[in-house]
Amino acid sequence: MSGLQTEGRGISGTLLEVTDLRTHFPTERGVVRAVDGVSFTLERGKTLGVVGESGSGKTVLSRSIMGLLSPRTTILTGSVKFAGEELLGRSAKQMRNVWGSEMAMIFQDPMTSLNPLMKIGKQITEPLKIHLDMPADEAKATAVRLMRDVRIPEPEKRLEQYPYELSGGMRQRVMIAIALACGPTMLFADEPTTALDVTVQAQILELIGEQQRDRNMSVILVTHDLGVVAGHTDEIAVMYGGRLVEKAPTTELFANMKMPYTEALLQSIPRLDQASHTRLTTIPGRPPDLVNPPKGCRFAPRCAYARDRCLEEEPTLTPAEGPGHVFACFYPVGSDEYHERKAELAQRSQTSGVAAGTGSEGGL
Amino acid sequence: MAGSGKAHLRDTDVLLRVEDLVMEFPVGRTGLKVNAVSGISFDIKRGETLGMVGESGCGKSTTGRSIMQLPRPTSGSVVFEGNDLTKLDDSAMRAARTRMQMIFQDPISSLNPRRKVRDIVMEPLTIWKRGDSASRGQLVDSVLEDVGIDPQRAAESQPHQFSGGQCQRISIARSLVLDPSLIICDEPVSALDVSVQAQVLNLLEDLKERYELTLLFIAHDLAVVKNISDRIAVMYLGKLCEISPAEDLYQRPAHPYTRVLLDSIPIPDPTVKVEYAPVEGEPPSPVLPPPGCRFHTRCQYADDQCRTQEPQLRDIGGGHFVACHHPLETPVTLTARS
């Protein structure tokens, strides 16, 4: 897998700068703090993986940046600077010349994101006509070229077909063709392969990587799967409970992860190099309630390494030794307190005869 | 894929034996048919977990459902606890189904949204009039506790008040109350977050021991399947490609398709570069499956024999069977992917 990495090709510099972004949804139950103070920057031509469990805020983050949430139901604060311009506070009308031509998004479910009543061809040519004022015949020729780019066989025939006539993998290729149509500089891919088979997933990730290199796009790849981001990103941001809890270049993150949460996420994935029936490490409990998030570190109630301080005081993002690596934890992986607790846990599981990390998740 | 053949079937202590299973569905009034499952045979020993993997549309879910006779297969036999289920009448079949249960992919939509969770779990006992109401209640509460759901909360709440992982636990409890010997798990963890997925996999292992279960575990994720299975069967377009003890399948995949599936799995380690030869395209339509080996249209090793002659499952040692004319010989070095 060659990945989406691109080292210093084409134009460089910061493309996206997100500062203290908060996305809150007022509901009957109270205010849901889906994204709660997230800051990061993304360079041109780089790929950032955003990882977290369901409800961590990773999808809301990408939609907030792109301005896809209705201002009637959402309270957005902070700043989103794209190519130096502030996007927050712009109306949908003002965002229209950003969508498609500057920023585009690929969604998880290619069936429900395509219009079932409209032919594939029309769905690809529509943004070309609207954003680029292309005449019909030129738009059609461009659509055929785009479909070739995303390796759809027999593009002329496919133009006349409806989404239901295509497989899931082909529909996702159509989604990518639509997203790429107006040559965006920034692509959001929100769980683009979760609904697909593993063989097709590999093809689609390769395709996104190839298009990203050819077009020098920045990509934000949102996923719950650390396996997907490992081979296909330059940097990874881990989200938990609406906050960014760790961010680092991909190889640095996997080599020196600091957050016990990141470590637990990685350890809960079954691996091919483990023997069958290996007891999996689990994260007990569930992600926090975003209406009343816990005091202190939001992961503390589920964290095997949490101490009293973690329940009282919230850790802020602090730099690790590695370049570009930040994390929010008082007792990170590798610290003395971490090792001390780890030894205690190993001791306890030995005496009780229960495998470590089984956790109790019932009744929560 | 491949292929047919029964060289891999065993004789002793077999709980379920499926032979020449065929399931076809008509395509409207065209006279065409979908060849969902085209003559597969396998068995599961008592207490064993058989993993079944393959891409969407390979027939793995249809296989699971046709064992339950939902609907009855077009042809073939399904011998479960000594009875051929395909020959039972409807009422005998209903009784046999209490011994085999199924859990599904989407835990939320497989529970009735309008009922209390405890009643959902109780229903099989009520239908079969097992014990009196007090003993039923006791059994339900103890099973709910075994799967990690608070019985008190289950009595008061509806499925939407539980998370996806908890709903899957509830589905598992419902499948256990009739004390079945076989559970067919159809993608039970693919809709769950990795952290919750690990919880449910560990739970299934625990319950398997406590309730003396035999599992047929259907999934597309090979790492998940390896974790839970003793043996693994790989399906492609309605046929079996390979069946083998779990460890052996990963160490020396013999079918080119198995190798493709293994190589497609993203490895959660950026320093590992897997030699990756992506398979081209997607599986052909099961309405008009290719002749010969069904995988030949996407296989880099295919030759004229593969295009015309269907391979049969044959023994390659150590309980490992493959249906391929040109099986792979080089073992995969697992160190490269660790």
User: What's the token pair of residue A249?
Assistant: 């270049």
- In terms of domains, do B117 and B228 share one? no
The alpha-helical segments, DSSP class H, found in chain B are: 60-67, 90-97, 117-127, 133-146, 151-156, 164-176, 194-210, 222-228, 246-251, 256-264, 304-308
Spatial distance between the Cα atoms of B244 and B226, rounded to a whole number of angstroms = 11
Q: Is the model more confident about A170 or about B1?
A: A170
Instruction: Please state the domain count of chain B.
Output: 2
Spatial distance between the Cα atoms of A65 and A83, rounded to a whole number of angstroms = 13
Q: Which domain holds residue B262?
A: 14-99+181-195+205-337
- pLDDT in the model for residue B278: 65
In a domain, B8, yes or no: no
B230 and A276: CB-CB below 8 Å? yes
Beta-carbon neighbour count of residue A271 at 10 Å?
A: 19
User: What's the token pair of residue A313?
Assistant: 């005081």
B250 vs A227, A251, A272: nearest CB: A272
Q: Considering only CB atoms, which chain B residues are within 8 Å of A280?
A: 198, 201-202, 227
- In terms of domains, do B218 and B87 share one? yes
Q: Is the model more confident about A82 or about A5?
A: A82
In a domain, B5, yes or no: no
Beta-carbon neighbour count of residue A275 at 10 Å?
A: 10
A207/B contact by beta carbon, under 8 A:
no
B222 and A227: CB-CB below 8 Å? no
A276 and B226: CB-CB below 8 Å? yes
- In terms of domains, do B307 and B230 share one? yes
Average pLDDT over chain A reads 89
A197/B contact by beta carbon, under 8 A:
yes
CA distance B16 to chain A (A): 22
Task: Give, as one character, the DSSP assignment of residue B239.
Answer: E
pLDDT of B76 above 90? yes
Q: Which of B136, B116, B117, B133 is nearest to B177 (CA)?
A: B136
B148 and A269: CB-CB below 8 Å? no
B276 and A202: CB-CB below 8 Å? yes
- pLDDT in the model for residue B274: 63
- Percent of chain A exceeding pLDDT 90 equals 68
Give the pLDDT band (50/70/90) at residue A355.
very low
- In terms of domains, do B86 and B221 share one? yes
Q: Which residue of B has its CA nearest to A225?
A: B194
- pLDDT in the model for residue A227: 87
pLDDT of A141 above 50? yes
- In terms of domains, do B297 and B244 share one? yes
A230/B contact by beta carbon, under 8 A:
yes
Spatial distance between the Cα atoms of B293 and B309, rounded to a whole number of angstroms = 7
A272 and B262: CB-CB below 8 Å? yes
Q: Which of A118, A103, A102 is nearest to A174 (CA)?
A: A118
**Per-range mean pLDDT, top range of A172-176, B160-164, B187-191, B214-218:** B214-218
In a domain, B30, yes or no: yes
Query: To which H or E segment does residue A23 belong?
Result: strand A14-27
pLDDT of B333 above 50? no
Beta-carbon neighbour count of residue A36 at 10 Å?
A: 19
A76/B contact by beta carbon, under 8 A:
no
Task: Give, as one character, the DSSP assignment of residue B233.
Answer: E
Q: Which residue of A has its CA nearest to B49?
A: A277
pLDDT of A193 above 90? no
3-state secondary structure of B153: helix
Q: Which residue has the tokens 């009448």?
A: B89
Q: Please give the full DSSP string across A123-192, using - where no structure is assigned.
A: HHHHHHHHHH---HHHHHHHHHHHHHHTT-SSHHHHTTS-GGGS-HHHHHHHHHHHHHTT--SEEEEEST
User: What's the token pair of residue A328?
Assistant: 């929010």
User: What's the token pair of residue A22?
Assistant: 């908060």
Beta-carbon neighbour count of residue A8 at 10 Å?
A: 7
Contact A180, A215 (CB under 8 A): yes
Q: Which residue of B has its CA nearest to A203?
A: B278
B198 vs A198, A228, A281: nearest CB: A281
- Residues 255-284 of chain A whose Cβ lies under 8 A from any Cβ of chain B: 255, 264-266, 268-283
Mean pLDDT of A219-240: 93
Query: Which segment of A319-328, B101-110, B135-144, B237-246 scores lowest on mean pLDDT?
Result: B101-110
User: What's the token pair of residue A153?
Assistant: 């066989």
Give the pLDDT band (50/70/90) at residue A1.
very low
- Percent of chain B exceeding pLDDT 90 equals 73
B214: β partners: B182
pLDDT of B28 above 90? no
ipTM score here?
A: 0.83
CA distance A84 to chain B (A): 32
Give the pLDDT band (50/70/90) at residue B275.
low
Q: Please give the full DSSP string across B83-149, using - where no structure is assigned.
A: EEGGGS-HHHHHHHHTTEEEE-S-TTTTS-TTS-HHHHHHHHHHHTT-S-HHHHHHHHHHHHHHTT-
Give the pLDDT band (50/70/90) at residue B191.
confident
Tell me the CATH number at B250: 3.40.50.300
Beta-carbon neighbour count of residue B304 at 10 Å?
A: 9
State pLDDT tens for residues A149-161. Answer: 888 888 999 999 9
- pLDDT in the model for residue A125: 95
A355 torsion bin: left (phi>0), alpha (psi -120 to 50), beta (else): beta
- In terms of domains, do B135 and B18 share one? no
3-state secondary structure of A252: helix
Spatial distance between the Cα atoms of A63 and A35, rounded to a whole number of angstroms = 11
B202 and A282: CB-CB below 8 Å? yes
- In terms of domains, do B243 and B224 share one? yes
Q: Please give the full DSSP string across B277-296, using - where no structure is assigned.
A: -PPPS-PPPTTSPPSSSTTG
Spatial distance between the Cα atoms of A331 and B205, rounded to a whole number of angstroms = 33
Q: Which residue has the tokens 């697909």?
A: A196
CA distance A87 to chain B (A): 32
- pLDDT in the model for residue B123: 95
**Exposed/middle/buried for residue A28 (C-beta within 10 Å: 0-12, 13-18, 19+):** exposed
A29/B contact by beta carbon, under 8 A:
no
Average pLDDT over chain B reads 91
CA distance A52 to chain B (A): 9
Beta-carbon neighbour count of residue B316 at 10 Å?
A: 17
Q: Considering only CB atoms, which chain B residues are within 8 Å of A279?
A: 202, 205
pLDDT of A341 above 80? yes
- In terms of domains, do B122 and B232 share one? no
Mean pLDDT of B37-44: 95
- In terms of domains, do B89 and B232 share one? yes
3-state secondary structure of A8: coil
- In terms of domains, do B167 and B45 share one? no
Contact A237, A51 (CB under 8 A): yes
Q: Please give the full DSSP string across A92-114, using - where no structure is assigned.
A: HHHHTTTBTTTEEEE-S-HHHHS
A170 and B276: CB-CB below 8 Å? no
pLDDT of A359 above 60? no
Mean pLDDT of A91-113: 88
- In terms of domains, do B305 and B227 share one? yes
A167/B contact by beta carbon, under 8 A:
yes
Question: Quick one: how many helices (H) and strands (E) in chain B?
Answer: 11, 12
CA distance B86 to chain A (A): 32
